[in-house]
Chain A
Amino acid sequence: MIGFAAERFSAGIANLDVPMGIGGSDMYRQQILDHYKNPRNYGEIEDATFTHVGENPMCGDTIEMDVVLDDDEETIEAIAFQGDGCAISQASASMLSKRLEGMTIEELETMDRDDVIDMLGVDISPMRVKCAVLAEKVAQDGAEIYFGEKDLEETTTEDDDPE
């Protein structure tokens, strides 16, 4: 998965004519800004099946997700999120929350970084991929903790911000 970022980055550097296309306002197409300004499923669910929080220390993004499962605990019935941070992280959480409605836990567990980036529909610069995938990681970790497959207080995507 790291390979994705590395590949994009080196492509940008090797070809000096390819300008700052990696990143920039290309990343902020209408869809992203719309979800950022009007987040869907924003809020809390009182009696959620599970709740999990995560942080991307690089941007200071935080996401908290409340997930309600059906009686068989197989399918996501409802989902809500709250958070704070950059447009990429918050729009991604909003879009993911729509995507997860009706999805099975099994499907959630097989989602990866590429699925998130496809969902966003824009090129995400390598340095910003962590912002994009925070919500997905929070949802996945939350499910794994609930089903006893993982033991974790809080999800993080990054350690330190050098310099």
Chain B
Amino acid sequence: MTVSEPGALDVASIREDFPVLDREFDGTPLVYLDNAATTQTPQQVIDAISEYYETYNANVHRGLHQLSQEASIAYEEAHDTVAEFVGAAGREELIFTGNTTESENLVAYAWGLNELGPGDEVVLTEMEHHASLVTWQQIAKKTGATVRYIRVTEDGHLDLDHAKKLIGSDTKLVSVLHVSNTLGTINPVADLADLAHAHDALIFVDGAQAVPNRPVDVEAIDADFYAFSGHKMAGPTGIGALYGKQAILEAMEPFNYGGDMITKVTFDDATWNDLPWKFEAGTPKIAQGIALAEAVEYLDDIGMEAIARHENELAQYTLDRLAEFDDIETFGPPAGTERGGLVSFNLGTVHAHDLSSILNDYAVAIRAGDHCTQPLHDKLGVAATARASFYIYNTREEIDVLIDAMDDARELFA
């Protein structure tokens, strides 16, 4: 990796932080290009998990003993760290969930079920992940509301004229991806927030593919809700987050009931705890939350601006390399348009799963399938695509390995 511009990532030293990158298969080093599915974990985050279990594992908010106090403080402060990372005012606006999907469902059940009814509309996009698409479809069925989809244009962007037509006085919620996990498109979420707010609708932004690789400021976007997953941003599995504007979260009913989310309970009724604990019923994801904060600090040290440049640069390089071949079709915005660090493509008529199985022989890990966007794939007219997705430790050389390995698939299927 050549350092080409000031502020470029020091990939060689970053790679040293990730033990899994030392893995080899039959002497062939792992080339991990499936980061949009899940990213690898740096030693610092692994150590944070170990340290928690080795030195201060205890339940939070409940005990008055030393370990419980240490765990409580670390867990609560983790909320502050993650809140600050995405531009939220504080822990009151940052709920720890299991993942992006759970964040979607929290809003769907706690807000959607109570607020939606016949005649109301929820506006999604055709590039939505199943996490929001399936969730709002089902909530609409339960409430009698209608789901509508903002069209995706030929070149992989949202059709904003169509958005302006769809979003109107019946719209109660707009739910939109910040960065598409299939097309790599970076959507104009702040503009869509303005559009939603102009019609008194709320906007939910799915930031699962944005928070890991670019600076995100929920207040600048003016998002009402914003969701992301720890395992896609160098953090552990089992933890995600939901940002919500404080006034909205305060007005909302809880999602799960039980311990920790209450203040006073009688045989007849209960009152709810303060934010964010009102939405974190039961023993929370303590180790994972603390480790997520560690991941956030790790990324912050590297710098989100630099990470965004690195991701776009690798994506552009991939598009350029793939353009050398006539038998490759790529999806999403054309080369030259800034995108998230991923490229979906197909090689001739070779099924993406066959391609992925063959690349596996070269220790190249890519994703093949519908990436949880089946309706979008139907629209693209393909059953599946192959997807290479990048993170802070990937290099141009690794993309070259991917391109060379595809020759084998070409030969086999010729």
Contact = CB atoms under 8 A, between A and B. Distances in A.
Interface stretch (A18-26, A70-78, A141-149): A18-26
* Candidate in A37, A60, A87, A163 with the most chain B CB atoms within 10 angstroms: A163
Given A85-B351, A161-B369, A161-B370, A60 B383 contact: yes
Nearest to B409: A25
B276 to A, nearest CB: 26
A20 B361 contact: yes
A103 interface: no
B372 A162 contact: yes
Interface residues of A, number: 28
B330 interface: no
Residue of B23, B38, B369 contacting most chain A CB atoms (<10 Å) = B369
Nearest to A58: B369
Nearest to B371: A163
B354 to A, nearest CB: 5
Interface string A149-163: 000000000001111
Contacts of B408: 25
A85 B369 CA distance: 12
Interface residues of B, number: 29
B357 A128 contact: yes
A148 B350 CA distance: 38
B245 interface: no
Interface string B332-370: 000000000000000000110110011011010001011
Given A20-B25, A20-B361, A33-B412, A160 B354 contact: no
Contacts of B369: 58-59, 161
B412 A60 contact: no
A59 B361 contact: no
A59 B353 contact: yes
Given A33-B413, A87-B413, A23 B360 contact: yes
Contacts of A49: none
Interface in A118-142: 125, 128, 131
A131 B353 contact: yes
Given A24-B361, A25-B361, A58-B369, A19 B26 contact: yes
B351 A28 contact: no
Contact of A86 (B36, B354, B367): B354
B384 interface: yes
A96 interface: no
A160 B26 CA distance: 32
A58 to B, nearest CB: 7
A43 B99 CA distance: 46
Contact of A27 (B357, B377, B384): B357
Interface string A36-68: 010000000000000000000111110000000
19 contacts: A16-B23, A19-B26, A20-B25, A20-B26, A20-B360, A23-B360, A25-B358, A25-B408, A25-B412, A27-B357, A28-B357, A60-B370, A60-B383, A125-B357, A125-B360, A128-B353, A161-B371, A163-B37, A163-B38
Interface of A: 16, 19-20, 23-28, 33, 37, 57-61, 84-88, 125, 128, 131, 160-163
Given A19-B25, A162-B372, 5 more contacts: A19-B363, A26-B361, A60-B384, A161-B369, A163-B372
